[in-house]
Structure formats: structure tokens, C-alpha cells
């Protein structure tokens, strides 16, 4: 189990201190895989490095497997080499002057009390077997491919049976095809060895598919935490909605409400949407449409929750087509359609919205 | 896994604190302590008293004597500045032309030219100086005799090496290869896309050279040019051997003269007082140098990456190119080597005046029978190897502290080690002399004082190691820490092997510098700590040119194979990639 409590960290920069982590708390239960997800520069890596002890926080408390490794109040800071962790670095950091076997054996060789040679050999080979690198044990490190380096890095991180596995963007150095493959391998492996893992990524697909719980970070704050499905389907803020799944966010006004439903009119006119949410009439709210929750058709559609517009741009990506649709009121929506639904630019289309959510406006919608 | 239930920050490895601290102390001891002593000595008197000697007291007499001396303004300062300025101009032109020919044109046999150009970097300057005297002295110099026979010129000359022009010429020949190496690296690192873009915009080769190439390269060329200034400024051998007979009086020689006056006792205070303004000038030039390399680093051209350069076809211009390179290589490498070999076999006789079968190995035989030779060989190796080892390790440690640690005084340490580049060797020699004459630990006059004195050149290793360490991705070390290794284990098993090639080249470079060194062992000379370069000069001055030339030949014969053997560590990395 990993418990991080009210972690804070600033870096000294030329224009004064830069607050990178601002009161982050979370818990990773035993045997679970936990993902920190967020845009570049939000402080994910720094959080991970604080857990590893590679960076000393300014305040807070970190507990790994029942041992306090950092506590600012009690002035405890256990150095990295005495924490029961294994790390997979973003660069993999495979030592170029060792071969595969020596890279993986290193954590056991430096362990005190000493571990017998025979045992080291057995344990290294067992782990190499696990990651499918047994046959390449004698290969020099500089002659490994990206995927092989990743496996070696993983083997090295788990060989001394740490209580916590830390992974920093473990797949970002691989090309797209290999990334999909290694993601499955990694998920499979983490589950098989049943290790507690914390990993960091800015790729939402990676986080959602690998982790049992995800936490979305922005600007040093932890914004929302939960099971992948929960965070995906019920984003707490516009930022989360946009970051996970790239939602369309449109301003709307609550016209009236009955029971738990609010009738919301979009800013540019058009139909009124019925949305499950707490809101008072007259209030301005954010309305969320998922790009993949909209169906396009070229024939007029009857019924509620239907908008009309024209196709203004499209990007063909293979399995799906990413359309931008200009609505009558001047709004633009992103729509993801199956690749057999091909429309020319300028085609008039009707949009059936199947997935619509409302969000209170704590923060104004960011960007797009 | 056994884990301490809790630990406080103070339980981190003691080794991670103690070792860098010891390194820092050693660096301060090697550089700052002698300098402090020097400044102290400048204000202590009277005359031949050592600063701590009983009877010595505070005084400004030394400083006043030095600065009211008309010779200072009439000779020393003008001579020093003329010497430096002339050398900077001549060397820049020569080295830049050579670098451009080798790196940017289709000149044939570039590899051979390259080897010939850098060969003199291995040869001690005393040896070069002696060879140039044999070639160019107004009376007996071979070249002069040749010209006289060919033109019927009567009397002395026509060329006189013992003049300011001769001194500048010799100094330029001797520093050019060092600067050539740096210019070459700069040229190699230039992105050819800049020039291609200019050509693509319709500019001619010449316009491109003038409007694009030179302005883009300028920051990268400035640093080597300032380096010539630094090297020339502290030059001692050539002013002593070639300048002095021509009545040229630069400050380095003047300091030596105060310590070894023709009559009377050494005047430490006066020598120290003369050092002060020149020390300041050296450090000023160093600041400029620092500024220049910062600038060059900021500039996109100097990326440390070598590009495949498109070469300009020389056509018929290759004949003047051969002529120029032949002239340089002839005077800097080939003629000196030939004349030394000849002199070691025939003494002062010139070719044509003796039958070739009169060649005599007598001077070699005498040399090998001389116990002094073996002492000098042993001393040279001991001092060069030990000081290279100390400086390599200490420099790497300082580089580590500066790049990897969070020690609060690390910029100071960086500045201190960098400063060693701007301290003239004569001044170091003087400072070390005054220090160990005052501190009675019995190393004055032994080889150990040389080991310590040589070891002040920390900047060589710090700069090389720093570049190497910065190439090692920090996560490689962090991965070791995360694997459970202690600080020392990480340094020894991960970082050290990864920076080893850099350390080996720093060591070799320092070893060569140590073998060539003349100023320090000459200033700190005793019967016991004589080294080869000093012995060569003593033989020559004592009227034994054959023996001197034999020893010079021997020395080159020792160093050359070592360097050829280890050249892959010495050739700049850019060339290989
Ligand atoms: N050593 C440092 N000194 C100063 N600022 C730093 C340092 N390390 C990180 N930062 C800053 O802290 C912020 C957070 O960095 P961090 O590496 O944690 O981001 P991240 O979320 O991992 O981003 P990415 O997805 O790009 O890796 C960034 O703005 C970064 O510039
Ligand atoms: Mg990161």
C-alpha cells in the first residue's frame, strides 16, 4: 500500500519558487495499479520522484507498505536506496556497460546482506523468463530494441521483489504499434505478479486500460480520482471531461427544472436539452457532448436532442473519422464517426446526441 | 527486505558527503593556498626575506619598487603586449587557414597533413626552441647559411630568430596546432544547412563564406583566439631561450630573473609584486574566454555534433595550399626533427661539411652512461603520471560536484578550478616555491613539489569530465539508487565505467602536458628533481648540442609511440561520430 498525504513541492527558479505539487493526497491499495494522468508539466513525474525519494518534498507524508519513508513533520526522509521500490524510467536507463543479465542482476548484487551467486542467477533468469528475455540474457545493452529495453527495465525493477513499482511514462518511448502490444503485456504482467504499482502518463487510453484507479492532475492539484469508468463517464470538471475523451463543451442556460432534470438551452440557440443535474433556473452551466456519443445522418431526424449543421472539416484516421461540424448558431462540435460514414465537406447533417451531461461552472471552460 | 523503520536525513551515506568535501579541500589547497601565499609575499619584506621568516614585516616597498621601475613601462609591458598581439594575429591566420583546408576543402592527403600539423603538440617547447635556433640563428643557422650560399649575402643573417619577429614566429608555430584542433572542431560542428540555404537563395560560394559562414562561426572562433592569448601570455620557454638573447624582456622572464638574479640573493617579495598585475591580466583574459565559450555554447552552431561537410574543390589552388602547409609543417615539425636527429649524430657540423659515415652515436652512448639521464627519465615519468592521475581524479570529482551535487559552494569550486587556466605557470612556480620554502614539510627540491605544482591545472580535467558527465543521463544513476545501491556503489559501478573513456583522454592529455612541462621544473629546479626537458636545456646551454639533441630525440621517441597507441582517446570525439 502507498499513502501520500498533502504532498507539496516547489522548485527554485530564476523568477522565484515554482509550486509544482500543491497538496496532493492519494492512496494505492495493495496489489492495485494506480495511474496519475495529466497534461505535460502538471507535476506527475515530480510526484513519482518524491515517492521514489529522488526528489525531496517540501511538506507532506509518504508511507510505503506500512513504513513511513517521508514525513516533513517528523523529519523523516529515507534515501531512495533504502526504500522498497522498483522504478521503470521514461528513458529506461538501461546501463550501457552491462549486458541484459548484469542489468537485471544489479539490484541483487548491491543488496545487503549479500545474496548468494547461485540465488542471484536463479532469480534473474526467472524474471527474464517472466518478461520473455531469457534468450537474450547475454546481449549487450546497447544492442537492444525499444521494446526489449522496456522489458529489461521492468525485469530490473521487479527482480528484488519491491513493495511498490513506479513507472514513468513506461510506453511513451515506443512506436504506436509496439505501444499497444506492450500495454497488454504490461497489464498482464503487473496483474500476474500482483504488485502495487503507481504509474504516470499523459495518455488517457494508457491510464484507463492499465489502472484500476486513475487520478487526473492539473497544475499540481489532484482534480478527480476514481475507477477509470467512473472518471470517464462522470467527469467532475470541464478540465477532466476535456482531458479524458476530448469532450465538446458548450455554454448553456438553465431555462427551467423539474424533479432532478434541468432544461438547458444552448448558447447558440437550437433545441433544449434535458439533463440530470442540480441547477437553478437562470444559471449558466457547461454542457458536455462526447464526440463519440453523437450520431450523424444526412436525412432529417425527428425527436429531441437533435441538432443540425454542416460538415466543415474531416480527418481520416483509419478506424474512425474525426469530423468538425458547424452548427447553425455558429458553434462547432467535434464528432467521431465510424469510417464507413463518409461525408463531403459542406454536407448538411443532423446530429443525434446520445450522451449529454451538464456541469456546474466552477471553472470557466478551458481552451477550445 | 529489511528496512529501517524510520530514518532521518542525517543517516544518508557519509561517503556521499566526505568524498566530495575532501575533493573540494584538495582543490582549494592546490590552487588557492599558493595564490594566497603569493599575494601575502608581495607585501612582506625586506628584500630576500621569506614572508614568514623571522624579521620579515609588512611593506609596500616591493610593490612600489616594481611600479616605479621605468623598465616595467619601457620594456616589460610593451614587450609582453607586442609578443601576445603579434602571436594572436599570426596564429589565428595560420591555424584558421589550416583548419579550413583540412575540414572544408577537398585537399588530398588530409589525414597525413592532419597528423603532421598536430605532431608538434607532443614536442616540448624547449626542444622546438633549440631546433629553431639551430635552423635560424643569424650566424650558424642552417637556413641562413643556405641563403648566404645561394645569394652571396655576406656577414650575418639575413634571418635573425633572436628578435621580436623571430619570437612571434616561433611562438605562433608552437601554439598553432592547439588552436588548429579547436578551429577544426568548430568547423566540423557547423550545420551545413546554413550554407546550403544561402546557396539555395542564389548566393555565390564567396558571398556565402563572407555573409553566412564567417558570422555564424565567429562565436566559436573567438574562444580559441582568446586561448592563444592566454597560452602566449604565460609563455616562458621561448622568451627565455629565444627572446632573451634578442633583448626582449617579457614579464615571465622578469619574475624568474628576480628569483635567480645574476648577482645577489633571490627577491621573493619583488617577484611576487611583479606577478600581481600579470595575474590580474591573466584572469581578465580568462573572464573573456569564459564569456566567449558561454556565447559559443548558446549559439546553435556549436552543438558538439559533427556534420558531414560538403567540401569545396580546390582545383589548381591546391598548389598554393601545399606550399602553405608545407611551409608550416616544414618549420614546425619536419625540419626540427631532421636537425635534431642530425645534430645528435654530427654535432654542430652542417651537411656537406662532413662525410656521412662519420655519424657518431657517441652522444647517445654518453647519454645512456650518465646517471643524470636516468634520474631525469624517472622524474619526468613520476611527475607526469602522478600529477595526471591526481588532476584527472580531482577534476572529475569537481566536475561531479558542479554538475550533480547540491553543495552550496559549488560555483566557487568551479570558478577556482577554471581559474587555474588563467594563472601563468611562472607565477604558480613562484607561489609554490614561496609556500614550501615557508612551510617546512621537506618537499622543497624534491619531485613531490613538482607533483603538487603540476597538479594545479585542474581546469583541463574539470572541463573534459564535465562534458562527459553531462552526457550520462541522470536516470542511469537514479536507476542504481532505486535498485538499492549506496552512493559509493553507484559512483563506482555505474558512473565511473561510463565516464572512463573521458577520464582516459583527460589523463593522456595531462600526461603529455606533464612531459612537455618546462617552466615549473625549471623554476623549482634542484639537482634531485631534474626532469628531461630541463636537462635538454642544460646540455644545450652547457655547450653540448649533440647530447641535448640526443636527449630530445630520445624523448620524442618515448612519447610518440605512447600517443599513437592511445590516439583513439585523444582525437576529438566529433570526428568519429
Ligand atoms: N528540477 C527542476 N527544477 C525546476 N523546475 C522543474 C524541475 N523539475 C520539474 N520542474 C518543473 O515542474 C513542473 C512539473 O514537472 P514534471 O516533470 O513533474 O511534469 P510532468 O507532469 O511529468 O510532465 P510531462 O508529462 O511533460 O513529463 C514543470 O513545469 C517543470 O518545468
Ligand atoms: Mg514527466
Is the ipTM reported for this complex over the cut 0.85? no
pLDDT higher than threshold 50 for residue B67: yes
Please state, in angstroms and as integers, the Cα–Cα distance from residue A169 to each residue in A160, A174, A219, A225, following that order: 22, 10, 18, 19
Q: Residue A157: list chain B partners with CB under 8 A.
A: 482
Look at B23-37, B142-156, B522-536 and tell me which has the smallest mean pLDDT: B142-156
Cβ of A80 and B482 within 8 Å? yes
Cβ contact A215:A37 at 8 Å: yes
Higher pLDDT, B261 or A37: A37
Q: How far apart are CA B351 and CA B395, in angstroms?
A: 49
Sign of CA dihedral A220, A226, A229, A235: negative
pLDDT higher than threshold 50 for residue B303: no
**Exposed/middle/buried for B513, CB within 10 Å: 0-12, 13-18, 19+?**
middle
pLDDT higher than threshold 60 for residue B394: yes
Higher pLDDT, A270 or B420: B420
| Residue spans of chain A under pLDDT 70 | 362-368
**Confidence at residue A22, expressed as pLDDT on a 0 to 100 scale:** 92
Residues, beta carbon < 5 Å, ion ligand 2:
A 45
Q: How far apart are CA B575 and CA B577, in angstroms?
A: 6
Name all residues whose Cβ lies below 6 A of ligand 1. A 11, 13, 18, 20, 38, 40-46, 202
CA-nearest residue, atom 28 of ligand 1 = A41
Q: Considering every ligand atom shown, identify the ligand nearest to the alpha carbon of residue A42 and give its number.
A: 1
**Exposed/middle/buried for B436, CB within 10 Å: 0-12, 13-18, 19+?**
buried
Please give the distance, rounded to the nearest whole angstrom, from the Cα atom of residue A51 to the centre of ligand 2: 14
Cβ contact A47:A199 at 8 Å: no
Fill in the DSSP letter of residue A110.
T
Please give the distance, rounded to the nearest whole angstrom, from the Cα atom of residue A219 to the centre of ligand 1: 10
Fill in the DSSP letter of residue A332.
E
Residue in A84, A110, A160 closest to B489 by CB = A110
pLDDT higher than threshold 60 for residue B10: no
Cβ of A81 and B9 within 8 Å? no
- Residue B141: name the closest of B268, B73, B242 by CA: B242
Cβ of A52 and B3 within 8 Å? no
Number of helices (H) and strands (E), helices first, in chain A? 8, 21
Ordered by start, the domain boundaries in chain A are 2-242, 243-360
A315 lies within 8 A of chain B by CB: no
Residue in B7, B475, B484 closest to A110 by CB = B484
Higher pLDDT, B412 or A245: B412
Cβ of B6 and A97 within 8 Å? no
pLDDT higher than threshold 50 for residue B576: no
Residue in B4, B480, B482 closest to A86 by CB = B482
**Confidence at residue B65, expressed as pLDDT on a 0 to 100 scale:** 82
Question: Other CB atoms closer than 10 Å to residue A66's CB: what's the count?
Answer: 10
A2-242 to CATH, choices 3.40.47.10, 3.90.700.10, 3.40.50.300, 3.30.450.20: 3.40.50.300
Residue in A76, A91, A161 closest to B475 by CB = A91
For B329-364, b/e burial (b = at least 16 CB within 10 A) is: bebbbebbbebbebbbbbbeebeeeeeeeeeeeebb
Cβ contact B83:B232 at 8 Å: yes
For chain B, the straight-line distance linking the first and the last C-alpha, in angstroms and rounded, comes to 45
Please give the distance, rounded to the nearest whole angstrom, from the Cα atom of residue A57 to the centre of ligand 2: 16
Please give the distance, rounded to the nearest whole angstrom, from the Cα atom of residue B160 to the centre of ligand 1: 66
- Specify the CATH number of the domain A243-360: 2.40.50.100
B7 lies within 8 A of chain A by CB: yes
A193 Cβ contact list (under 8 Å, min separation 6): A130, A158
**Confidence at residue B5, expressed as pLDDT on a 0 to 100 scale:** 37
A91 lies within 8 A of chain B by CB: yes
B76 Cβ contact list (under 8 Å, min separation 6): B249, B250, B251, B254
Beta-bridge mates of residue B247 = none
Q: Give which of A61, A71, A80 to mutate to test B binding, by max B Cβ within 10 Å.
A: A80
Residues B401-409 have a mean pLDDT of: 81
For B467-506, b/e burial (b = at least 16 CB within 10 A) is: ebbeebeebbbbbbbbbbbbbebbbebbbeebbeebbebb
A172 Cβ contact list (under 8 Å, min separation 6): A90, A201, A203
Fill in the DSSP letter of residue B312.
B
Q: Considering every ligand atom shown, identify the ligand nearest to the alpha carbon of residue A89 and give its number.
A: 2
**Confidence at residue B574, expressed as pLDDT on a 0 to 100 scale:** 35
pLDDT higher than threshold 50 for residue B8: no
Cβ of A77 and B480 within 8 Å? no
Sign of CA dihedral A292, A184, A140, B490: positive
Q: How far apart are CA A59 and CA A38, in angstroms?
A: 22
Fill in the DSSP letter of residue B1.
-
At B318-358, the pLDDT tens digits run 899 999 999 999 998 888 888 888 888 877 776 666 666 67
**Confidence at residue B301, expressed as pLDDT on a 0 to 100 scale:** 43
Cβ of B483 and A96 within 8 Å? no
**Confidence at residue B299, expressed as pLDDT on a 0 to 100 scale:** 55
Beta-bridge mates of residue A248 = A289
User: Which domains can be identified in chain B, with CATH numbers?
Assistant: 1-7+19-41+364-541 (1.10.3720.10), 56-301+314-353 (1.10.3720.10)
Residue B389: strand, helix, or coil: helix
Q: How far apart are CA B295 and CA A60, in angstroms?
A: 42
Cβ of A76 and B7 within 8 Å? yes
At B154-202, the pLDDT tens digits run 777 777 888 898 899 999 999 998 888 888 887 877 766 677 666 666 6
Nearest-neighbour CA in chain B from A244: distance (Å): 30
Residue B296: band (very low, low, confident or very high) from pLDDT cuts 50, 70, 90:
low
At A228-265, the pLDDT tens digits run 888 888 888 888 888 887 778 888 888 888 777 888 88
Nearest-neighbour CA in chain B from A146: distance (Å): 16
Cβ of B483 and A83 within 8 Å? no
Q: How far apart are CA A365 and CA B102, in angstroms?
A: 61
Q: How far apart are CA A180 and CA A17, in angstroms?
A: 39
Look at A84-98, B188-202, B395-409, B462-476 and tell me which has the smallest mean pLDDT: B188-202
Nearest-neighbour CA in chain A from B473: distance (Å): 8
Cβ of B476 and A95 within 8 Å? yes
Q: How far apart are CA B129 and CA B257, in angstroms?
A: 20
Q: How far apart are CA B297 and CA B304, in angstroms?
A: 9
**Confidence at residue A298, expressed as pLDDT on a 0 to 100 scale:** 85
Instruction: From A9, A44, A50, A166, give the residue whose CB has the most ligand 1 atoms within 8 Å, as the site to mutate.
Output: A44
Look at A271-285, B100-114, B394-408 and tell me which has the smallest mean pLDDT: A271-285
Confirm whether pTM is higher than 0.90: no
pLDDT higher than threshold 50 for residue B577: no
B-facing residues of A in 95-134 (CB < 8 A) are: 95-97, 106-107, 110-111
**Confidence at residue B308, expressed as pLDDT on a 0 to 100 scale:** 62
Amino acid at each position: 500500500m502507498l499513502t501520500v498525504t498533502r504532498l507539496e513541492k516547489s522548485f527554485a527558479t530564476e523568477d522565484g519558487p515554482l509550486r509544482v505539487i500543491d497538496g496532493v493526497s492519494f492512496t494505492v491499495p495493495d496489489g492495485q495499479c494506480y495511474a496519475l494522468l495529466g497534461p505535460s508539466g502538471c507535476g506527475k513525474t515530480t510526484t513519482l520522484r518524491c515517492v521514489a525519494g529522488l526528489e525531496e518534498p517540501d511538506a507532506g507524508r509518504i508511507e510505503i507498505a506500512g513504513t513511513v519513508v517521508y514525513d516533513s513533520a517528523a523529519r523523516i526522509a529515507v534515501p531512495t536506496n533504502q526504500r522498497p521500490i522498483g522504478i521503470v524510467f521514461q528513458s529506461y536507463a538501461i546501463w550501457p556497460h552491462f549486458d541484459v543479465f548484469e542489468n537485471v542482476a544489479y539490484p541483487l548484487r548491491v543488496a545487503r546482506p549479500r545474496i548468494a551467486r547461485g540465488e542471484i542467477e536463479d532469480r534473474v533468469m526467472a524474471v527474464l523468463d517472466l518478461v520473455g528475455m531469457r534468450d537474450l540474457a547475454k546481449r549487450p545493452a546497447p544492442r537492444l530494441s525499444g521494446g526489449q529495453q522496456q522489458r529489461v527495465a521492468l525485469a530490473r525493477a521487479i527482480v528484488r521483489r519491491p513493495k511498490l513499482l513506479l513507472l514513468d511514462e513506461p510506453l511513451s518511448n515506443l512506436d504506436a504499434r509496439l505501444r499497444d502490444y506492450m500495454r497488454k503485456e504490461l497489464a498482464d504482467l503487473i496483474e500476474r505478479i500482483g504488485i502495487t504499482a503507481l504509474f504516470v502518463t499523459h495518455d488517457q487510453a494508457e491510464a484507463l486500460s492499465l489502472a484500476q484507479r486513475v487520478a487526473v492532475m492539473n497544475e499540481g492539484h489532484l482534480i478527480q480520482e476514481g475507477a477509470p469508468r467512473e472518471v470517464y463517464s462522470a467527469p467532475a470538471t470541464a478540465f477532466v471531461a476535456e482531458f479524458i475523451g476530448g469532450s465538446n463543451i458548450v455554454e448553456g442556460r438553465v431555462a427551467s427544472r423539474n424533479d432532478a432534470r434541468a432544461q438547458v438551452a444552448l448558447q447558440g440557440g437550437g433545441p433544449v436539452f434535458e439533463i440530470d443535474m442540480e441547477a437553478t433556473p437562470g444559471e449558466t452551466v457547461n454542457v458536455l457532448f462526447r464526440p463519440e456519443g453523437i450520431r450523424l445522418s444526412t436525412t432529417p431526424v425527428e425527436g429531441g436532442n437533435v441538432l443540425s449543421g454542416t460538415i466543415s472539416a474531416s480527418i481520416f484516421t483509419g478506424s474512425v473519422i474525426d469530423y468538425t461540424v458547424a452548427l447553425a448558431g455558429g458553434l462547432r462540435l467535434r464528432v467521431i464517426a465510424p469510417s464507413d460514414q463518409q461525408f463531403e465537406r459542406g454536407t448538411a447533417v443532423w446530429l443525434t446526441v446520445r450522451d449529454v451531461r451538464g456541469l456546474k461552472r466552477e471553472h470557466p471552460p478551458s481552451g477550445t | 527486505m529489511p528496512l529501517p523503520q524510520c530514518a532521518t536525513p542525517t543517516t544518508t551515506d557519509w561517503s556521499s558527503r566526505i568524498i566530495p568535501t575532501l575533493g573540494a579541500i584538495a582543490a582549494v589547497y592546490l590552487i588557492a593556498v599558493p595564490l594566497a601565499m603569493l599575494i601575502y609575499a608581495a607585501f612582506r619584506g625586506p628584500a630576500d626575506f621569506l614572508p614568514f621568516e623571522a624579521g620579515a614585516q609588512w611593506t609596500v616597498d616591493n610593490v612600489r619598487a616594481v611600479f616605479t621601475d621605468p623598465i616595467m613601462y619601457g620594456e616589460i609591458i610593451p614587450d609582453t603586449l607586442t609578443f601576445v598581439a603579434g602571436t594572436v594575429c599570426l596564429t589565428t591566420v595560420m591555424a584558421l587557414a589550416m583548419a579550413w583546408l583540412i575540414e572544408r576543402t577537398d585537399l588530398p592527403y588530409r589525414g597525413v597533413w592532419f597528423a603532421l600539423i598536430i605532431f608538434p603538440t607532443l614536442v616540448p617547447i624547449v626542444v622546438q626552441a633549440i631546433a629553431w635556433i639551430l635552423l635560424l640563428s643569424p650566424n650558424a643557422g642552417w637556413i641562413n647559411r643556405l641563403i648566404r650560399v645561394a645569394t652571396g649575402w655576406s656577414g650575418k643573417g639575413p634571418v635573425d630568430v633572436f628578435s621580436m619577429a623571430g619570437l612571434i614566429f616561433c611562438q605562433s608555430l608552437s601554439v598553432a596546432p592547439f588552436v588548429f584542433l579547436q578551429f577544426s572542431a568548430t568547423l566540423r560542428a557547423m550545420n551545413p544547412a546554413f550554407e546550403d540555404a544561402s546557396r539555395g537563395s542564389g548566393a555565390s560560394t564567396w558571398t556565402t563564406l563572407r555573409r553566412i559562414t564567417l558570422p555564424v562561426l565567429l562565436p566559436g572562433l573567438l574562444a580559441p583566439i582568446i586561448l592563444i592569448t592566454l597560452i602566449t601570455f604565460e609563455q616562458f620557454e621561448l622568451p627565455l631561450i629565444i627572446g632573451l638573447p634578442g633583448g626582449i624582456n617579457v614579464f615571465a622572464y622578469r619574475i624568474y630573473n628576480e628569483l635567480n638574479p645574476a648577482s645577489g640573493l633571490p627577491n621573493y617579495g619583488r617577484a611576487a609584486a611583479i606577478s600581481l598585475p600579470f595575474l590580474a591580466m591573466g584572469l581578465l583574459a580568462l573572464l573573456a574566454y569564459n564569456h566567449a565559450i558561454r556565447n559559443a555554447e548558446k549559439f546553435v552552431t556549436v552543438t558538439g555534433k559533427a556534420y558531414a561537410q560538403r567540401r569545396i574543390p580546390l582545383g589548381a589552388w591546391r598548389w598554393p595550399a601545399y606550399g602553405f602547409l608545407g611551409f608550416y609543417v616544414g618549420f614546425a615539425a619536419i625540419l626540427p626533427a631532421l636537425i635534431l636527429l642530425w645534430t645528435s649524430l654530427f654535432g654542430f657540423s652542417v651537411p656537406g661539411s662532413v662525410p656521412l659515415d662519420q655519424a657518431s652515436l657517441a652522444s647517445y652512448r654518453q647519454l645512456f652512461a650518465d646517471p643524470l639521464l636516468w634520474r631525469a627519465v624517472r622524474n619526468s615519468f613520476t611527475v607526469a603520471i602522478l600529477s595526471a592521475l591526481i588532476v584527472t581524479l580531482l577534476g572529475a570529482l569537481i566536475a561531479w560536484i558542479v554538475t550533480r551535487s547540491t553543495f552550496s559552494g559549488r560555483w566557487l569550486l568551479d570558478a577556482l578550478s577554471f581559474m587555474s587556466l588563467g594563472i601563468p605557470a611562472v607565477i604558480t612556480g613562484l607561489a609554490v616555491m614561496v609556500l614550501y620554502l615557508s612551510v617546512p614539510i621537506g618537499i622543497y627540491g624534491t619531485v613531490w613539489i613538482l607533483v603538487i605544482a603540476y597538479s594545479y591545472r585542474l581546469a583541463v580535467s574539470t572541463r573534459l569530465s564535465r562534458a562527459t558527465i553531462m552526457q550520462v543521463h541522470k536516470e542511469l544513476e537514479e536507476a542504481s539508487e532505486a535498485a538499492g545501491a549506496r552512493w559509493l556503489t553507484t559512483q563506482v559501478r555505474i558512473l565511473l565505467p561510463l565516464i572512463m573513456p573521458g577520464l582516459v583522454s583527460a589523463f593522456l592529455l595531462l600526461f603529455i602536458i606533464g612531459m612537455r612541462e618546462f617552466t615549473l621544473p625549471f623554476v623549482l629546479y634542484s639537482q634531485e628533481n631534474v626532469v628531461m626537458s630541463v636537462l635538454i636545456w642544460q646540455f644545450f646551454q652547457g655547450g653540448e648540442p649533440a647530447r641535448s639533441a640526443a636527449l630530445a630525440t630520445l624523448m620524442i621517441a618515448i612519447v610518440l609511440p605512447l600517443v599513437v597507441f592511445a590516439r583513439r582517446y585523444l582525437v576529438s570525439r566529433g570526428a568519429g561520430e
